[in-house]
Amino acid sequence: GAVVSQHPSWVICKSGTSVKIECRSLDFQATTMFWYRQFPKQSLMLMATSNEGSKATYEQGVEKDKFLINHASLTLSTLTVTSAHPEDSSFYICSAKDRKAYEQYFGPGTRLTVT
Protein backbone atom coordinates (compact mmCIF):
# COMPACT_ATOMS: atom_id res chain seq x y z
CA GLY A 1 0.00 0.00 0.00
CA ALA A 2 0.86 3.66 -0.22
CA VAL A 3 3.34 4.85 2.37
CA VAL A 4 4.18 8.33 3.55
CA SER A 5 7.30 8.89 5.59
CA GLN A 6 8.42 11.82 7.70
CA HIS A 7 11.87 12.76 8.84
CA PRO A 8 12.85 13.26 11.54
CA SER A 9 10.38 11.44 13.76
CA TRP A 10 11.28 13.71 16.63
CA VAL A 11 13.49 16.75 17.07
CA ILE A 12 14.52 19.01 19.91
CA CYS A 13 15.79 22.45 19.09
CA LYS A 14 16.66 25.64 20.90
CA SER A 15 14.45 28.69 20.79
CA GLY A 16 15.30 30.92 17.86
CA THR A 17 16.61 28.22 15.58
CA SER A 18 14.92 26.79 12.49
CA VAL A 19 13.86 23.22 11.94
CA LYS A 20 13.08 21.44 8.68
CA ILE A 21 10.70 18.49 8.50
CA GLU A 22 10.51 16.30 5.40
CA CYS A 23 7.49 14.46 4.08
CA ARG A 24 7.91 11.85 1.37
CA SER A 25 5.50 9.68 -0.57
CA LEU A 26 7.47 6.47 -1.01
CA ASP A 27 5.61 4.56 -3.68
CA PHE A 28 3.30 7.03 -5.32
CA GLN A 29 3.31 10.51 -6.74
CA ALA A 30 1.58 13.22 -4.80
CA THR A 31 0.65 16.44 -6.51
CA THR A 32 -0.82 17.65 -3.24
CA MET A 33 0.49 17.32 0.28
CA PHE A 34 -0.99 18.66 3.48
CA TRP A 35 0.56 19.74 6.74
CA TYR A 36 -1.33 19.36 9.99
CA ARG A 37 -0.54 20.28 13.55
CA GLN A 38 -1.77 18.27 16.49
CA PHE A 39 -1.61 19.41 20.10
CA PRO A 40 -1.75 16.81 22.87
CA LYS A 41 -5.15 15.17 23.08
CA GLN A 42 -6.51 17.46 20.39
CA SER A 43 -7.49 17.07 16.79
CA LEU A 44 -5.48 17.65 13.65
CA MET A 45 -5.55 21.26 12.55
CA LEU A 46 -4.82 21.83 8.88
CA MET A 47 -2.01 24.33 8.47
CA ALA A 48 -1.51 24.44 4.75
CA THR A 49 -2.00 22.70 1.43
CA SER A 50 1.08 22.21 -0.65
CA ASN A 51 0.88 21.76 -4.41
CA GLU A 52 3.88 20.60 -6.39
CA GLY A 53 5.56 23.44 -8.19
CA SER A 54 3.44 26.21 -6.74
CA LYS A 55 3.07 28.21 -3.57
CA ALA A 56 1.38 26.65 -0.61
CA THR A 57 -2.07 27.71 0.48
CA TYR A 58 -2.18 28.51 4.18
CA GLU A 59 -5.18 28.25 6.45
CA GLN A 60 -6.42 31.31 8.24
CA GLY A 61 -4.29 32.19 11.21
CA VAL A 62 -1.19 30.29 10.08
CA GLU A 63 1.86 32.50 9.55
CA LYS A 64 3.33 31.67 6.16
CA ASP A 65 6.62 33.40 6.98
CA LYS A 66 7.02 31.27 10.07
CA PHE A 67 6.00 27.95 8.56
CA LEU A 68 7.75 27.75 5.21
CA ILE A 69 6.50 25.03 2.92
CA ASN A 70 8.25 23.80 -0.18
CA HIS A 71 6.93 21.12 -2.53
CA ALA A 72 9.71 20.78 -5.04
CA SER A 73 8.89 17.34 -6.41
CA LEU A 74 6.01 14.90 -6.69
CA THR A 75 7.34 12.90 -3.76
CA LEU A 76 8.73 15.48 -1.36
CA SER A 77 7.37 18.38 0.65
CA THR A 78 9.21 20.17 3.43
CA LEU A 79 7.99 22.26 6.34
CA THR A 80 10.47 24.64 7.92
CA VAL A 81 9.62 26.15 11.27
CA THR A 82 11.61 29.37 11.35
CA SER A 83 12.79 31.05 14.53
CA ALA A 84 11.08 28.41 16.61
CA HIS A 85 9.64 29.23 20.00
CA PRO A 86 8.38 26.93 22.78
CA GLU A 87 4.78 27.52 21.68
CA ASP A 88 5.67 25.89 18.34
CA SER A 89 6.25 22.63 20.15
CA SER A 90 3.74 20.21 18.73
CA PHE A 91 3.18 17.11 16.65
CA TYR A 92 3.37 17.87 12.94
CA ILE A 93 1.72 15.43 10.56
CA CYS A 94 1.82 15.45 6.80
CA SER A 95 -0.43 13.67 4.37
CA ALA A 96 -0.14 13.10 0.65
CA LYS A 97 -2.83 12.71 -1.94
CA ASP A 98 -2.21 10.11 -4.61
CA ARG A 99 -2.41 11.89 -7.97
CA LYS A 100 -4.14 8.85 -9.46
CA ALA A 101 -6.78 8.57 -6.78
CA TYR A 102 -8.60 10.58 -4.22
CA GLU A 103 -7.04 8.72 -1.33
CA GLN A 104 -5.00 10.66 1.19
CA TYR A 105 -2.29 8.90 3.16
CA PHE A 106 -0.82 10.09 6.43
CA GLY A 107 2.73 10.15 7.67
CA PRO A 108 3.70 8.99 11.17
CA GLY A 109 4.22 12.53 12.40
CA THR A 110 7.15 14.52 13.75
CA ARG A 111 7.30 15.63 17.35
CA LEU A 112 8.96 19.02 17.70
CA THR A 113 10.09 20.25 21.09
CA VAL A 114 11.48 23.75 21.34
CA THR A 115 13.44 24.50 24.49
Partner 1 sequence: AQRVTQPEKLLSVFKGAPVELKCNYSYSGSPELFWYVQYSRQRLQLLLRHISRESIKGFTADLNKGETSFHLKKPFAQEEDSAMYYCALRKDSSASKIIFGSGTRLSIRP
Vertex 61, ends 4 and 15: CA angle to 5°? Answer: 75
Binding test (CB under 8 A) with partner 1, winner from 29, 66, 82, 106: 106
Q: With respect to partner 1, which residue has the nearer C-beta, 14 or 100? A: 100
Q: Nearest approach, Cβ of 46 to partner 1 (angstroms)?
A: 6
Count of Cβ atoms closer than 10 Å to residue 15 Cβ = 12
> What x/- string results for residues 17 through 56 when contact with partner 1 is judged by CB under 8 A?
---------------x-x-x-----xxxxx--x-------
What minimum distance in Å lies between the beta carbon of 40 and partner 1? 12
Quote the DSSP letter at residue 20: E
Beta pairing partners, 67: 81
Q: Which of residues 74-103 bind partner 1 (CB under 8 A)?
A: 93, 95, 97, 102-103
Q: Which residues of 29-44 are buried (b: 16+ CB within 10 A; e: fewer)?
A: ebbbbbbbbeeeeeeb
Q: Residue 19 or 93: which CB sits closer to partner 1?
A: 93
Q: Are 38 and 45 in contact (CB under 8 A)?
A: yes
> Where do contacts with partner 1 occur on this chain (CB under 8 A)?
32, 34, 36, 42-46, 49, 93, 95, 97, 102-104, 106-109
